[in-house]
Structure 1
Amino acid sequence: MNAPELYALRERFNSDRTLLCFNGPISRSLIEEIGKALKNYLEQEQAQPRAATDVFAVYIEMTQNIRHYAVTRGFSELDSAATVVIARDDLGRYVVSAGNSVEPEDGQALLKAVESLSGLDKNALKALYKEQLRKPRDQEAATGAGLGLIDIARKSSAPLSATLSHTIGQRAFFSLSVVI
Protein backbone atom coordinates (compact mmCIF):
# COMPACT_ATOMS: atom_id res chain seq x y z
CA MET A 1 0.00 0.00 0.00
CA ASN A 2 1.45 3.35 -0.93
CA ALA A 3 1.12 6.65 0.95
CA PRO A 4 -1.84 8.10 -1.02
CA GLU A 5 -3.80 4.87 -0.51
CA LEU A 6 -3.07 5.01 3.21
CA TYR A 7 -4.32 8.58 3.35
CA ALA A 8 -7.52 7.55 1.53
CA LEU A 9 -7.97 4.72 4.03
CA ARG A 10 -7.49 7.15 6.92
CA GLU A 11 -10.08 9.51 5.43
CA ARG A 12 -12.50 6.62 5.02
CA PHE A 13 -11.98 5.63 8.67
CA ASN A 14 -12.60 9.21 9.79
CA SER A 15 -15.69 9.50 7.58
CA ASP A 16 -17.08 6.22 8.94
CA ARG A 17 -16.20 7.24 12.53
CA THR A 18 -13.99 4.18 12.92
CA LEU A 19 -12.48 4.02 16.39
CA LEU A 20 -10.55 0.79 16.05
CA CYS A 21 -9.86 -1.55 13.16
CA PHE A 22 -7.93 -4.80 12.92
CA ASN A 23 -7.41 -7.23 10.06
CA GLY A 24 -5.25 -10.33 10.31
CA PRO A 25 -4.59 -13.53 12.22
CA ILE A 26 -5.93 -13.25 15.75
CA SER A 27 -4.38 -14.86 18.82
CA ARG A 28 -5.42 -14.90 22.45
CA SER A 29 -2.75 -12.34 23.36
CA LEU A 30 -3.75 -10.08 20.47
CA ILE A 31 -7.41 -10.20 21.55
CA GLU A 32 -6.24 -9.10 25.00
CA GLU A 33 -4.02 -6.28 23.71
CA ILE A 34 -6.71 -4.90 21.40
CA GLY A 35 -9.14 -5.18 24.30
CA LYS A 36 -6.83 -3.05 26.46
CA ALA A 37 -6.59 -0.44 23.70
CA LEU A 38 -10.38 -0.47 23.35
CA LYS A 39 -10.87 -0.01 27.11
CA ASN A 40 -8.42 2.90 27.12
CA TYR A 41 -10.14 4.52 24.18
CA LEU A 42 -13.59 4.20 25.77
CA GLU A 43 -12.25 5.69 29.02
CA GLN A 44 -10.68 8.63 27.17
CA GLU A 45 -13.91 9.16 25.28
CA GLN A 46 -15.74 9.07 28.63
CA ALA A 47 -18.22 6.53 27.32
CA GLN A 48 -21.20 5.73 29.54
CA PRO A 49 -20.11 2.88 31.86
CA ARG A 50 -22.86 0.53 30.64
CA ALA A 51 -22.05 1.20 26.97
CA ALA A 52 -18.31 0.74 27.56
CA THR A 53 -18.89 -2.55 29.37
CA ASP A 54 -21.21 -3.83 26.62
CA VAL A 55 -18.86 -2.77 23.79
CA PHE A 56 -15.96 -4.52 25.49
CA ALA A 57 -17.98 -7.67 26.26
CA VAL A 58 -19.30 -7.92 22.71
CA TYR A 59 -15.80 -7.40 21.28
CA ILE A 60 -14.39 -10.16 23.52
CA GLU A 61 -17.22 -12.60 22.74
CA MET A 62 -16.97 -12.05 18.99
CA THR A 63 -13.19 -12.30 18.75
CA GLN A 64 -12.95 -15.31 21.04
CA ASN A 65 -15.63 -17.07 18.97
CA ILE A 66 -13.66 -16.35 15.79
CA ARG A 67 -10.43 -17.66 17.30
CA HIS A 68 -12.12 -20.75 18.73
CA TYR A 69 -13.79 -21.52 15.41
CA ALA A 70 -10.54 -21.22 13.44
CA VAL A 71 -8.67 -23.42 15.92
CA THR A 72 -11.34 -26.15 16.02
CA ARG A 73 -11.52 -26.18 12.20
CA GLY A 74 -7.73 -26.35 11.88
CA PHE A 75 -7.64 -23.30 9.61
CA SER A 76 -4.33 -21.98 8.33
CA GLU A 77 -3.06 -18.63 9.58
CA LEU A 78 -4.50 -16.93 6.48
CA ASP A 79 -7.92 -18.57 6.91
CA SER A 80 -7.96 -17.84 10.63
CA ALA A 81 -7.71 -14.10 10.06
CA ALA A 82 -10.37 -11.84 11.49
CA THR A 83 -11.57 -8.40 10.55
CA VAL A 84 -12.78 -6.32 13.50
CA VAL A 85 -14.10 -2.76 13.29
CA ILE A 86 -15.50 -0.64 16.11
CA ALA A 87 -17.12 2.59 15.01
CA ARG A 88 -19.83 5.10 15.87
CA ASP A 89 -23.01 5.45 13.82
CA ASP A 90 -24.86 8.66 12.94
CA LEU A 91 -26.76 8.50 16.24
CA GLY A 92 -23.55 8.21 18.28
CA ARG A 93 -24.07 4.54 19.12
CA TYR A 94 -21.17 2.11 19.03
CA VAL A 95 -21.14 -0.48 16.27
CA VAL A 96 -18.99 -3.56 16.84
CA SER A 97 -18.46 -5.57 13.65
CA ALA A 98 -16.38 -8.68 13.15
CA GLY A 99 -15.97 -11.19 10.37
CA ASN A 100 -14.03 -14.28 9.46
CA SER A 101 -13.79 -17.12 6.97
CA VAL A 102 -16.19 -19.97 7.64
CA GLU A 103 -17.32 -23.17 6.06
CA PRO A 104 -20.42 -22.23 4.00
CA GLU A 105 -22.74 -24.55 5.94
CA ASP A 106 -21.52 -23.10 9.25
CA GLY A 107 -22.11 -19.61 7.89
CA GLN A 108 -25.67 -20.53 6.86
CA ALA A 109 -26.34 -21.91 10.36
CA LEU A 110 -25.01 -18.68 11.91
CA LEU A 111 -27.19 -16.57 9.61
CA LYS A 112 -30.22 -18.59 10.64
CA ALA A 113 -29.38 -18.18 14.34
CA VAL A 114 -28.88 -14.43 13.97
CA GLU A 115 -32.12 -14.11 12.03
CA SER A 116 -34.07 -15.96 14.72
CA LEU A 117 -32.59 -13.77 17.47
CA SER A 118 -33.16 -10.55 15.54
CA GLY A 119 -36.91 -11.06 15.70
CA LEU A 120 -36.98 -11.26 19.51
CA ASP A 121 -37.54 -8.40 21.94
CA LYS A 122 -35.52 -7.94 25.16
CA ASN A 123 -37.91 -10.01 27.29
CA ALA A 124 -37.89 -12.91 24.83
CA LEU A 125 -34.08 -12.78 24.63
CA LYS A 126 -33.85 -12.85 28.43
CA ALA A 127 -36.19 -15.86 28.58
CA LEU A 128 -34.21 -17.65 25.84
CA TYR A 129 -30.96 -16.95 27.67
CA LYS A 130 -32.35 -18.41 30.91
CA GLU A 131 -33.74 -21.43 29.06
CA GLN A 132 -30.37 -22.06 27.38
CA LEU A 133 -28.61 -21.65 30.71
CA ARG A 134 -30.74 -24.39 32.27
CA LYS A 135 -30.18 -26.88 29.44
CA PRO A 136 -27.62 -29.57 30.16
CA ARG A 137 -24.42 -28.94 28.26
CA ASP A 138 -23.43 -31.54 25.72
CA GLN A 139 -19.90 -32.58 26.74
CA GLU A 140 -19.27 -33.81 23.18
CA ALA A 141 -20.12 -30.44 21.61
CA ALA A 142 -17.30 -28.57 19.95
CA THR A 143 -18.73 -25.23 21.09
CA GLY A 144 -19.81 -23.73 24.39
CA ALA A 145 -23.23 -23.67 25.97
CA GLY A 146 -24.69 -21.53 23.15
CA LEU A 147 -25.10 -18.44 25.30
CA GLY A 148 -22.67 -16.10 23.55
CA LEU A 149 -24.78 -15.08 20.55
CA ILE A 150 -27.87 -14.71 22.75
CA ASP A 151 -25.92 -12.52 25.16
CA ILE A 152 -24.65 -10.39 22.27
CA ALA A 153 -28.24 -9.94 21.07
CA ARG A 154 -29.29 -8.94 24.60
CA LYS A 155 -26.62 -6.23 24.72
CA SER A 156 -27.53 -4.86 21.28
CA SER A 157 -29.80 -1.83 21.01
CA ALA A 158 -30.88 -2.83 17.49
CA PRO A 159 -31.44 -6.15 15.73
CA LEU A 160 -28.22 -8.00 14.93
CA SER A 161 -27.06 -7.69 11.34
CA ALA A 162 -25.20 -10.52 9.61
CA THR A 163 -24.06 -11.32 6.09
CA LEU A 164 -22.46 -14.27 4.40
CA SER A 165 -20.31 -13.47 1.40
CA HIS A 166 -19.18 -16.31 -0.80
CA THR A 167 -15.52 -15.97 -1.61
CA ILE A 168 -13.30 -17.52 -4.21
CA GLY A 169 -12.54 -21.03 -3.09
CA GLN A 170 -14.44 -23.28 -0.73
CA ARG A 171 -15.02 -20.87 2.14
CA ALA A 172 -17.37 -17.98 2.83
CA PHE A 173 -16.93 -14.82 4.89
CA PHE A 174 -19.36 -14.34 7.78
CA SER A 175 -19.85 -10.81 9.16
CA LEU A 176 -21.78 -9.75 12.25
CA SER A 177 -22.56 -6.19 13.35
CA VAL A 178 -23.90 -5.24 16.76
CA VAL A 179 -25.19 -1.78 17.70
CA ILE A 180 -24.70 -0.70 21.31
Structure 2
Amino acid sequence: MHSPDLYALRENFNRERIMLCFNGPISRSLIEEIGNALKNYLAADQALPAAATDVFAAYIEMTQNIRHYVARRGYAEAETAATVVISRDESGRYIVSAGNLVEAGDGRAVMSRINAIATLDKAALKAAYKEQLRKPRDPALTGGAGLGLLDIARKASEPLQAALIEHGDDRAFFSLRAVI
Protein backbone atom coordinates (compact mmCIF):
# COMPACT_ATOMS: atom_id res chain seq x y z
CA MET A 1 0.00 0.00 0.00
CA HIS A 2 1.26 3.42 -0.97
CA SER A 3 1.79 5.80 1.95
CA PRO A 4 0.88 9.45 1.28
CA ASP A 5 3.63 12.04 1.44
CA LEU A 6 2.36 13.88 4.49
CA TYR A 7 5.07 16.53 4.30
CA ALA A 8 4.09 17.39 0.70
CA LEU A 9 0.45 17.40 1.73
CA ARG A 10 1.22 19.70 4.66
CA GLU A 11 3.22 22.04 2.43
CA ASN A 12 0.37 22.17 -0.07
CA PHE A 13 -2.11 22.93 2.74
CA ASN A 14 0.13 25.76 3.97
CA ARG A 15 0.61 27.15 0.45
CA GLU A 16 -3.15 27.07 -0.15
CA ARG A 17 -3.84 28.55 3.32
CA ILE A 18 -6.07 25.59 4.24
CA MET A 19 -7.21 25.81 7.84
CA LEU A 20 -9.38 22.72 7.91
CA CYS A 21 -9.87 19.84 5.51
CA PHE A 22 -11.97 16.69 5.63
CA ASN A 23 -12.48 13.91 3.11
CA GLY A 24 -14.63 10.88 3.83
CA PRO A 25 -18.11 9.67 4.76
CA ILE A 26 -19.99 12.38 6.62
CA SER A 27 -22.53 11.93 9.40
CA ARG A 28 -24.52 14.30 11.58
CA SER A 29 -22.15 13.81 14.51
CA LEU A 30 -19.10 14.34 12.31
CA ILE A 31 -20.57 17.57 10.92
CA GLU A 32 -21.02 18.71 14.52
CA GLU A 33 -17.45 17.78 15.55
CA ILE A 34 -15.90 19.45 12.51
CA GLY A 35 -18.12 22.46 13.22
CA ASN A 36 -16.71 22.67 16.75
CA ALA A 37 -13.17 22.47 15.36
CA LEU A 38 -14.05 25.18 12.84
CA LYS A 39 -15.35 27.45 15.61
CA ASN A 40 -12.07 26.94 17.50
CA TYR A 41 -9.98 27.67 14.38
CA LEU A 42 -11.94 30.84 13.71
CA ALA A 43 -11.55 31.98 17.32
CA ALA A 44 -7.80 31.26 17.23
CA ASP A 45 -7.62 33.12 13.91
CA GLN A 46 -9.37 36.06 15.61
CA ALA A 47 -12.07 36.17 12.96
CA LEU A 48 -14.57 38.97 13.30
CA PRO A 49 -17.79 37.65 14.90
CA ALA A 50 -19.89 38.35 11.78
CA ALA A 51 -17.38 36.59 9.51
CA ALA A 52 -17.12 33.62 11.88
CA THR A 53 -20.92 33.28 11.95
CA ASP A 54 -21.15 33.46 8.14
CA VAL A 55 -18.33 30.94 7.62
CA PHE A 56 -19.91 28.54 10.10
CA ALA A 57 -23.36 28.97 8.53
CA ALA A 58 -21.99 28.28 5.03
CA TYR A 59 -20.15 25.19 6.30
CA ILE A 60 -23.28 23.85 8.02
CA GLU A 61 -25.52 24.50 5.00
CA MET A 62 -23.12 22.84 2.56
CA THR A 63 -22.45 19.76 4.68
CA GLN A 64 -26.10 19.29 5.64
CA ASN A 65 -27.04 19.50 1.96
CA ILE A 66 -24.54 16.74 1.19
CA ARG A 67 -25.75 14.57 4.05
CA HIS A 68 -29.40 14.96 3.07
CA TYR A 69 -28.65 14.32 -0.60
CA VAL A 70 -26.76 11.06 -0.06
CA ALA A 71 -29.43 9.85 2.39
CA ARG A 72 -32.21 10.68 -0.06
CA ARG A 73 -30.34 8.85 -2.83
CA GLY A 74 -29.66 5.84 -0.61
CA TYR A 75 -25.95 5.85 -1.46
CA ALA A 76 -23.71 3.18 0.04
CA GLU A 77 -21.22 4.39 2.65
CA ALA A 78 -18.36 4.56 0.15
CA GLU A 79 -20.46 6.92 -1.98
CA THR A 80 -21.35 9.22 0.93
CA ALA A 81 -17.90 10.77 1.05
CA ALA A 82 -17.70 14.53 1.18
CA THR A 83 -14.71 16.76 0.68
CA VAL A 84 -14.79 19.92 2.78
CA VAL A 85 -12.10 22.60 2.81
CA ILE A 86 -11.98 25.86 4.76
CA SER A 87 -9.18 28.19 3.73
CA ARG A 88 -8.21 31.84 3.41
CA ASP A 89 -7.27 33.80 0.34
CA GLU A 90 -4.46 36.33 -0.04
CA SER A 91 -6.65 39.17 1.23
CA GLY A 92 -7.74 37.24 4.35
CA ARG A 93 -11.24 36.30 3.22
CA TYR A 94 -12.48 32.85 4.18
CA ILE A 95 -13.27 30.30 1.48
CA VAL A 96 -15.72 27.52 2.27
CA SER A 97 -15.71 24.69 -0.27
CA ALA A 98 -17.53 21.37 -0.25
CA GLY A 99 -18.12 18.64 -2.77
CA ASN A 100 -19.58 15.18 -3.20
CA LEU A 101 -20.59 12.53 -5.69
CA VAL A 102 -23.99 13.21 -7.28
CA GLU A 103 -26.20 11.91 -10.06
CA ALA A 104 -25.08 13.83 -13.18
CA GLY A 105 -28.60 15.15 -13.88
CA ASP A 106 -28.94 16.43 -10.33
CA GLY A 107 -25.54 18.10 -10.62
CA ARG A 108 -26.48 19.83 -13.86
CA ALA A 109 -29.72 21.11 -12.27
CA VAL A 110 -27.86 22.55 -9.25
CA MET A 111 -25.22 24.08 -11.55
CA SER A 112 -27.99 25.84 -13.47
CA ARG A 113 -29.48 27.18 -10.23
CA ILE A 114 -26.10 28.40 -8.95
CA ASN A 115 -25.25 30.04 -12.28
CA ALA A 116 -28.57 31.91 -12.12
CA ILE A 117 -27.94 32.96 -8.50
CA ALA A 118 -24.42 34.14 -9.41
CA THR A 119 -25.88 36.77 -11.75
CA LEU A 120 -27.84 38.46 -8.93
CA ASP A 121 -26.57 41.48 -7.01
CA LYS A 122 -27.10 41.86 -3.25
CA ALA A 123 -30.49 43.55 -3.59
CA ALA A 124 -31.74 40.90 -6.02
CA LEU A 125 -30.43 38.13 -3.74
CA LYS A 126 -32.35 39.62 -0.81
CA ALA A 127 -35.51 39.88 -2.91
CA ALA A 128 -35.13 36.30 -4.19
CA TYR A 129 -34.58 35.06 -0.63
CA LYS A 130 -37.72 36.83 0.63
CA GLU A 131 -39.74 35.56 -2.34
CA GLN A 132 -38.57 31.98 -1.75
CA LEU A 133 -39.35 32.33 1.95
CA ARG A 134 -42.96 33.31 1.16
CA LYS A 135 -43.55 30.46 -1.29
CA PRO A 136 -45.44 27.48 0.10
CA ARG A 137 -43.20 24.44 0.30
CA ASP A 138 -44.28 21.50 -1.83
CA PRO A 139 -44.10 18.39 0.40
CA ALA A 140 -43.72 16.24 -2.74
CA LEU A 141 -40.36 17.84 -3.54
CA THR A 142 -37.37 15.85 -2.33
CA GLY A 143 -35.02 18.83 -2.19
CA GLY A 144 -34.94 21.78 0.13
CA ALA A 145 -36.76 25.05 -0.32
CA GLY A 146 -33.76 26.62 -2.08
CA LEU A 147 -33.20 29.05 0.76
CA GLY A 148 -29.80 27.58 1.68
CA LEU A 149 -28.04 28.49 -1.56
CA LEU A 150 -29.60 31.94 -1.52
CA ASP A 151 -28.50 32.43 2.09
CA ILE A 152 -24.91 31.39 1.32
CA ALA A 153 -24.90 33.70 -1.71
CA ARG A 154 -26.15 36.59 0.43
CA LYS A 155 -23.33 36.06 2.93
CA ALA A 156 -20.65 35.65 0.26
CA SER A 157 -18.46 38.56 -0.80
CA GLU A 158 -18.44 37.40 -4.43
CA PRO A 159 -20.68 35.18 -6.58
CA LEU A 160 -20.82 31.49 -5.69
CA GLN A 161 -18.69 29.23 -7.86
CA ALA A 162 -19.51 25.63 -8.64
CA ALA A 163 -17.97 22.86 -10.70
CA LEU A 164 -19.29 19.58 -12.02
CA ILE A 165 -16.91 16.88 -13.19
CA GLU A 166 -18.86 14.14 -14.95
CA HIS A 167 -17.59 10.57 -14.75
CA GLY A 168 -19.47 9.08 -17.68
CA ASP A 169 -21.39 6.59 -15.51
CA ASP A 170 -24.27 9.01 -14.88
CA ARG A 171 -22.37 10.23 -11.84
CA ALA A 172 -20.42 13.41 -11.31
CA PHE A 173 -18.47 15.20 -8.60
CA PHE A 174 -20.17 18.46 -7.66
CA SER A 175 -18.34 21.17 -5.73
CA LEU A 176 -19.41 24.54 -4.40
CA ARG A 177 -17.18 27.43 -3.32
CA ALA A 178 -18.21 30.50 -1.31
CA VAL A 179 -15.92 33.39 -0.42
CA ILE A 180 -16.92 35.00 2.89
When normalised by structure 2's length, the TM-score is 0.97
Question: How far does residue 2 in structure 1 lie from its aligned partner after superposition?
Answer: 2.6
Unpaired segments ≥5 residues, structure 1 = none
Question: How far does residue 78 in structure 1 lie from its aligned partner after superposition?
Answer: 1.2
Write the deviation string for residues 6-49 of structure 1: whole angstroms up to 9, x where unpaired: 11000000000000000000000000000000001101111001
Paired residues for 1:91-110 under 5 Å = 91-110=91-110
- Please tell me the residue identity of whatever aligns with 2:45: E
- Please tell me the residue identity of whatever aligns with 1:72: R
- Please tell me the residue identity of whatever aligns with 1:51: A
Structure 1 SS opposite 2:153: helix
- Please tell me the residue identity of whatever aligns with 2:112: K
Contact 2:105–2:170 (CA under 8 A) maintained in structure 1: no
| Root mean square deviation, CA, Å | 1.0
- Please tell me the residue identity of whatever aligns with 1:126: K
- Please tell me the residue identity of whatever aligns with 1:121: D
2:25 is aligned to 25
- Please tell me the residue identity of whatever aligns with 1:26: I
Paired residues for 1:21-170 under 5 Å = 21-167=21-167, 169-170=169-170
Structure 2 SS opposite 1:138: coil
Structure 2 SS opposite 1:86: strand
Question: How far does residue 170 in structure 1 lie from its aligned partner after superposition?
Answer: 3.0
Contact 2:132–2:147 (CA under 8 A) maintained in structure 1: yes
Moved more, 56-65 or 39-48: 39-48
Question: How far does residue 119 in structure 1 lie from its aligned partner after superposition?
Answer: 0.6
Write the deviation string for residues 119-178 of structure 1: whole angstroms up to 9, x where unpaired: 101000000000000001101111222100110100100011100001263310001000
Structure 1 SS opposite 2:77: coil
Question: How far does residue 101 in structure 1 lie from its aligned partner after superposition?
Answer: 0.4
- Please tell me the residue identity of whatever aligns with 1:160: L
Q: How many residues align?
A: 179
Cα distance, 1:14–1:90 mapped onto 2, change above 3 Å: same
Contact 2:18–2:87 (CA under 8 A) maintained in structure 1: yes
Structure 2 SS opposite 1:21: strand
1-side partners of 2:64 and 2:76: how far apart? 17
Structure 1 SS opposite 2:174: strand
Moved more, 134-143 or 21-30: 134-143
Moved more, 142-151 or 110-119: 142-151
- Please tell me the residue identity of whatever aligns with 1:177: R
Question: How far does residue 52 in structure 1 lie from its aligned partner after superposition?
Answer: 0.2
Task: Give % identity.
Answer: 65
When normalised by structure 1's length, the TM-score is 0.97
